């Protein structure tokens, strides 16, 4: 006779950390980018491949259509250019950083904005701990 393994259910597990969702909005990851994708609207066929594949939600959508890049969050990975149908030429080869694009980046703990955001995150964790009675 085989014995049933003693596997814990989710009810038996200790509660882990709970962090407020959407915190990535507080971090302007575009500051890491060394290259910039350029959208050619006149060539775009609105297939939305770029939007679907962008790992950082850095392509804006307006009225159900692809709109401009959100360069504050675009990391310049080039996936959008890779997924854009080659026949359209709607996304140029990744170019060098445009010095005219201002990026409000996360540049470490000395940045007052980072400290403010970190404080928000810590408050979220504290609230979650209190809510779930975690010491």
Nearer to ligand SF4, 4 or 86 (CB): 86
User: What is the smallest separation between the CB atom of 120 and ligand SF4, expressed in angstroms?
Assistant: 24
Cβ contact 47:85 at 8 Å = yes
Cβ contact 51:44 at 8 Å = no
How far apart CA 92 and CA 89 sit, in angstroms, is 6
User: What is the smallest separation between the CB atom of 111 and ligand SF4, expressed in angstroms?
Assistant: 22
Give the C-alpha distances (Å, rounded to integers) separating 14 from 8, 9, 11, 54, 59.
11, 11, 8, 35, 38
Nearer to ligand SF4, 77 or 128 (CB): 77
Nearer to ligand SF4, 95 or 126 (CB): 95
Cβ contact 75:54 at 8 Å = no
Residues at the site binding ligand SF4, with contacts judged by CB under 6 A: 37, 39, 44-50, 54, 56, 58-59, 66, 69, 74-80, 83-85, 88, 90-91
User: What is the smallest separation between the CB atom of 37 and ligand SF4, expressed in angstroms?
Assistant: 5
Nearer to ligand SF4, 11 or 96 (CB): 96
């Amino acid at each position: 006779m085989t014995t049933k393994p003693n596997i814990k259910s989710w009810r038996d597990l200790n509660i882990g950390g709970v962090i407020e969702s959407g915190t990535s909005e507080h971090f302007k990851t575009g500051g890491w980018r060394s290259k910039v994708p350029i959208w050619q609207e006149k060539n775009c066929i609105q297939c939305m491949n770029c939007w679907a594949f962008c790992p950082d939600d850095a392509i804006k959508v307006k009225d159900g259509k692809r709109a401009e890049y959100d360069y504050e969050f675009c990391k310049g990975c080039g996936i959008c250019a890779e997924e854009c149908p080659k026949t359209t030429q709607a996304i140029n080869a990744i170019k060098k950083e445009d010095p005219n694009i201002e990026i409000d980046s996360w540049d470490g703990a000395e940045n007052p904005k980072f400290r403010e955001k970190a404080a928000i995150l810590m408050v979220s964790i504290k609230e979650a701990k209190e809510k779930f009675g975690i010491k």
